[in-house]
Structure 1
Amino acid sequence: MRISEFRNGKAEARYRTAYEGALDRLWPGERTSLDIPTGYGTTRVHRAGPAHGTPIVLLPGSGGNALMWHSYIEPLAARHPVIAVDTVGEPGASVQSAPVADGRDAADWLEELLAALGLPAVHLVGCSYGGWIALHHRIRHPGRATGLTLVDSAGLADLSPRFYRWIILGGLAALAPRALRPRLARKLGNSAILDTELMALLRASAGFRRRLPLAATLTDDELRAVGAPVLALLGGRSALHDAPTTAERLHRLLPDAEVHTVPDAGHSLTTDDPGAVLTGILTMAARQAGRTDGLNGPVERTG
């Protein structure tokens, strides 16, 4: 298998310049950036928040990196240690050196990273593809993640042609003049294209060749093996899956999981309703810390 990489040095240099500029603008506060070697390549992480406590580890969706969480860093880091990850094999500051063939490899990469950071316990937060990695990590390395927050996670249902259309049309809309994007965002149900900085970074990644595996649907036995406390946030209008069907599957296979549907949100849940996502992450993190904050906000309990 081949690895993800830039088409040439010029494309890589252009992207690195765009990435560093976006990092400075989107994350102006205090942070520590580290490059951690693993068997799958060097992984860039950004740390913020207090030195003590169970860290919140943020995993981005496909085609993204740590900067997709930029609006969440300050409120999360005000209460908890936060580690935002550039997934190896995605466009970002990480550099892949070995193939990632499947969910087992993705889980092993993440385990190597967390072990190298000296983190015996973490709260994993995964958006879309990042949720798929978090699930596989919990199954393969159950001793480290004490809880999972899944934000419209991949791997819970088979991908449909509708989702691929949503991806393609969203990419085209990101190239449209800025004045047209609000109308396109409403039409497509994709508020992420309104984040000007991230869309500029997306365009700069045009020279990146992503060669990571598809997020194959987890089997029933795999989902039953997750075990850890799970909060699954589903976009009620998500193009990734049918929310009621996915919620029913989660309740059947993970009866102790909390499953909440955000009615007016789609797959771009982190930008469609950041309040619901932030509240969910903080609620799970508070439980890991032994507090009892409740989950409030525009969500519906399903099942």
Structure 2
Amino acid sequence: MRVPDRPSAFTSDSARDKYHAAYDRLLGELWPVPIDAFDVETRAGSVRIHRAGPATGDPIVLVAGAGGNALAWYRYVEPLARTRPVLVVDPLGEPGRSVQRKPLASGADVGGWLTDALAAVGAERAHLAGFSAGAWAAVEQQLGGGGRVAALTLVDPGGFAPIGWRFIRWATLGAAASMLPRTLRHRLAGTVGNGVLREDALVELMRLGFSYRRRVPIPPVYTDEQIRNLFVPVQVLLGAHSALLDAQAVATRLADIAPEWRVEIVPGTGHSLPVEAPDLIVERILDFPTGRHS
């Protein structure tokens, strides 16, 4: 497996500028509450963070998956920020306003930049929530001894099943369908099992993101020992029809090796779980680790 030896980047300055223009416009259109946007320096580059909610308190930190950035969480900010500080990250290695300057050659590198970002904002007991590759980054942050986290919410996470042809087919069909006219694209969302296709703003960014060359390691499957070495409360939310993993198989494995984890399979959802069940995920984040579903 090839190890990334260069930073992720846009193919040209003009492609980057077009993406950033759309990003800024859509942020203004979609973001429901006032935000404070700022950059922090990490070992691998500068990371853009959007902050909303109360000025004090333990923050909820949201990390998007592959191809995503802070805008992917736009439905989450307002309900979460009613009671908690919310920090929404543009991950390094993904298209957005963060700027990667060094290669991310391993999971330790990915977890390292996230640890640096948490340190830069002074987080000590964050609730770290990640989707897919963002969930993998969150786990790597903890396995690397980064601390600063009181709980993890992993949404259809990477690192719990090998990347197979089913997922590659799902991603390829989603990319192709994103280029179709809106009505047809919406109609096909259910057929290809990708709720993002109904999200017009996110699809616009997806199209512009085709000019971004993503160079991030492919997550290997975690060993039982690695899973047992996560010492903070963990909840895992799985799409029942996820193309990334077999939800029932993952749930069964975790029940055996990490019975204290809260694991939930969400009916009627796939790998696009964050856009298919945002209200449920918000509720689970807010009531974990001491909530009703323990």
Q: Given the two structures, how large is their TM-score scaled by the length of structure 1?
A: 0.93
Secondary structure of 2:221's counterpart equals coil
TM-superposed deviation, 1:202: 1.1
RMSD of aligned C-alpha atoms? Answer: 1.2
- 1:13 aligns with 17
1:278-297 alpha-carbon deviations (Å, 9 max, x no partner): 1111111xx4xxxx5424xx
Secondary structure of 1:25's counterpart equals helix
Equivalent residue for 1:128, pick from 111, 132, 143: 132
8 Å contact from structure 2 (residues 32, 74) kept in 1: no
Q: Distance in 2 between matches of 1:21 and 1:142?
A: 34
Equivalent residue for 2:207, pick from 200, 203, 206: 203
> Unmatched 5+ residue regions in structure 2?
none
Q: Distance in 2 between matches of 1:141 and 1:135?
A: 10
- 2:179 aligns with 175
1:131-175 alpha-carbon deviations (Å, 9 max, x no partner): 001111111125311100011111111111101000000111111
Question: Is it true that 1:215 corresponds to 2:213 in the alignment?
Answer: no
Equivalent residue for 1:30, pick from 31, 34, 40: 34
Secondary structure of 2:287's counterpart equals helix
Q: Distance in 2 between matches of 1:253 and 1:53?
A: 33
Moved more, 274-283 or 227-236: 274-283
TM-superposed deviation, 1:206: 2.1
Secondary structure of 2:54's counterpart equals coil
Question: Is it true that 1:250 corresponds to 2:226 in the alignment?
Answer: no
Q: Distance in 1 between matches of 2:123 and 2:193?
A: 37
Q: Distance in 1 between matches of 2:185 and 2:10?
A: 28
- 1:62 aligns with 66
Q: Distance in 2 between matches of 1:217 and 1:235?
A: 18
- 1:138 aligns with 142
Equivalent residue for 2:151, pick from 147, 150, 169: 147
User: Structure 1 242/118 Cα, relative in aligned 2: closer, same or farther at 3 Å?
Assistant: same
1:211-253 alpha-carbon deviations (Å, 9 max, x no partner): 1111221122111111210110001110111111000111222
TM-superposed deviation, 1:265: 0.6
Equivalent residue for 1:92, pick from 92, 96, 99: 96
Q: Distance in 2 between matches of 1:141 and 1:67?
A: 28
TM-superposed deviation, 1:102: 1.2
1:189 alignment partner AA: G
- 1:49 aligns with 53
- 2:85 aligns with 81
Secondary structure of 1:71's counterpart equals coil
Q: Distance in 2 between matches of 1:283 and 1:237?
A: 25
Q: Distance in 1 between matches of 2:254 and 2:109?
A: 24
Q: Distance in 2 between matches of 1:175 and 1:76?
A: 32
Q: Distance in 1 between matches of 2:205 and 2:150?
A: 33
- 2:162 aligns with 158
Secondary structure of 2:74's counterpart equals helix
TM-superposed deviation, 1:77: 0.3
Moved more, 44-53 or 134-143: 134-143
8 Å contact from structure 2 (residues 115, 146) kept in 1: no
8 Å contact from structure 2 (residues 112, 146) kept in 1: no
Secondary structure of 2:33's counterpart equals coil
Q: Distance in 2 between matches of 1:51 and 1:253?
A: 38
8 Å contact from structure 2 (residues 32, 78) kept in 1: no
8 Å contact from structure 1 (residues 227, 254) kept in 2: no
Secondary structure of 1:50's counterpart equals coil
